[in-house]
C-alpha cells in the first residue's frame, strides 16, 4: 500500500509528554500527497514535528489524524513549472511556521517528489522525457536545498553565538539543519531504470555528497536514502507502463534484475509487481537519519532495498 490507511497502526502508544525528536521543529516534505512523501509526513507528525507539505496534487487531510491537522500546512505547488516555486515554498513555510507560534526556521527538508521514466535507453529517450525526469528528480531537489540552506546557515550562526559551552577556537557549529534526499537503487546501478531516471538519481546522490561536505562545519547534515522497488506511486507507474508507454526493449533488459526483488502476486495472470518494501519502511529510515542518533552520519547513501543493491 502507499500509506497506512489505518492511521492508529502507524503510531506506537506512548504518553502525552513532549516528544524531543520533533517538538518545536519545522520540517518540509515534498511529494507529500502520496507514497513515501505521505508516509514520511504521517511519521514526522506522529513525532510532533510541524510539517509543511508540498505537492502539485491536492492533499487529502483524511489521511492524517485529526490531532495532527493543526501541525500540518499544505502548500500546493509545481516545483518544476515555476523557477521561483522552490524559493517561494520555503518562504511560505517560514511564514506559516511563524504564524503558528513557532520559530521562523527550517530544521528538516525531505526531498521526496520524483517521477519515473519509461525505461528508454540512450538511443531511444526523447528530449521531453529527459527534460521532465531531470527537472523533477534533480533540478527541483537542488533548488529546494538552495532555498533552505540560507535559513539553515543563519540558524547555525545563531546557535553558535548563543552557545556558551563550545570552545572559542572551534569551527564546528551545533546541528542546525538536516536534508534527506530520496534517491534510488538506480542512483548506484545502471540496471534498474531507463537512462533519464538513472542519470537523475546518480546526480542527486552527487548533489547530496557535495552539500554534505560543503556545509559539514556549519551544522548541516545531508544524506540520501536509496529505496529499492517500493509499493508507491512510482511502483504503480512501473506496473502501469507494462501495458502503456513502456520502452519494451529497454525494460526487457532490466526485467530480470527487477525479478530478483519482486515477488509474484498471489492472484494468477497479473502483471503487477509486488514487493515486501513499503513506503512506511522508507519513512522510518528517513526518521532515523533525522534523529540525533544519526548526528555523526553525513553524506551517506542508505539503501532500503532488502539487499537488492548488494548485487
Residue with cell 559551552: 165
Catalytic position from the list 201, 209, 284, 306: 201
Q: How far apart are the first and last CA of the chain?
A: 26
CA distances (Å), 219 to each of 18, 25, 36, in order? 24, 15, 26
Residues 6+ apart with CB under 8 A from 56: 76, 77, 78, 79, 113
Q: Known catalytic residue: 201?
A: yes
- Residues 198 and 188: their CA atoms lie apart, in Å, by 8
Joined grid coordinates for residue 156: 547555525
Residues 6+ apart with CB under 8 A from 217: 171, 172, 173
CB–CB of 204/187 below 8 Å? Answer: yes
**Which residues are paired to 180 by β-bridges?**
110, 223
Question: Going edge to edge, which strands form the sheet with 177-182?
Answer: 72-76, 50-55, 26-30, 108-111, 177-182, 220-227, 301-304
- DSSP assignment of 219-238 equals TEEEEEEEE-S-BSHHHHHH
CB–CB of 126/250 below 8 Å? Answer: no
CB–CB of 301/202 below 8 Å? Answer: no
Residue with cell 492533499: 59
- Residues 232 and 235: their CA atoms lie apart, in Å, by 5
Q: Known catalytic residue: 153?
A: no
Joined grid coordinates for residue 111: 526531498
Catalytic position from the list 153, 197, 209, 306: 197
What is the helix (H) or strand (E) element at residue 44, kind and residue range?
helix 35-46
User: Catalytic positions, please?
Assistant: 197, 201
Amino acid at each position: 500500500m502507499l500509506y497506512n490507511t489505518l492511521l492508529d497502526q502507524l503510531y506506537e502508544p506512548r504518553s502525552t509528554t513532549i516528544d524531543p525528536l520533533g517538538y518545536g521543529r519545522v520540517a518540509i516534505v515534498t511529494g507529500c500527497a502520496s507514497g513515501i512523501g505521505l508516509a514520511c509526513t504521517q511519521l514526522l507528525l506522529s513525532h510532533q514535528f510541524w510539517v509543511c507539505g508540498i505537492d502539485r496534487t491536492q492533499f487529502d487531510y483524511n489521511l492524517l489524524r485529526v490531532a495532527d491537522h493543526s501541525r500540518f500546512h499544505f502548500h500546493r505547488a509545481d516545483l518544476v513549472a515555476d523557477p521561483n516555486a522552490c524559493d517561494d515554498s520555503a518562504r511560505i513555510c517560514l511564514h506559516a511556521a511563524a504564524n503558528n507560534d513557532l520559530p521562523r526556521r527550517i530544521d528538516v527538508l525531505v526531498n521526496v517528489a520524483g517521477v519515473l521514466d519509461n525505461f528508454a535507453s540512450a538511443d531511444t529517450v526523447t528530449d521531453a522525457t529527459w527534460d521532465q525526469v531531470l527537472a523533477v528528480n534533480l533540478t527541483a531537489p537542488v533548488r529546494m536545498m538552495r532555498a533552505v540552506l540560507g535559513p539553515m546557515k543563519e540558524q547555525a550562526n545563531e546557535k553558535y553565538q548563543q552557545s556558551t559551552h563550545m570552545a572559542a577556537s572551534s569551527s564546528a557549529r551545533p546541528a542546525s539543519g538536516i536534508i534527506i534526499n530520496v534517491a534510488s537503487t538506480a542512483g548506484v546501478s545502471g540496471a534498474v531504470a531507463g537512462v533519464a531516471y538513472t542519470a537523475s538519481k546518480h546526480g542527486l546522490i552527487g548533489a547530496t555528497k557535495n552539500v554534505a561536505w560543503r556545509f559539514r562545519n556549519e551544522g548541516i547534515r545531508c544524506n540520501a536514502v536509496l529505496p529499492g522497488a517500493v509499493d508507491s506511486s512510482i511502483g504503480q507507474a512501473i506496473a502501469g507502463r507494462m501495458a502503456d508507454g513502456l520502452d519494451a526493449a529497454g525494460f526487457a533488459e532490466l526485467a530480470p534484475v527487477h525479478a530478483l526483488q519482486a515477488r509474484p502476486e498471489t492472484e494468477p495472470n497479473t502483471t503487477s509487481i509486488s514487493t515486501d518494501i513499503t513506503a512506511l519502511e522508507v519513512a522510518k529510515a528517513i526518521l532515523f537519519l533525522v534523529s540525533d542518533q544519526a548526528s555523526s552520519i553525513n553524506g551517506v547513501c542508505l539503501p532500503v532495498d532488502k539487499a537488492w543493491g548488494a548485487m
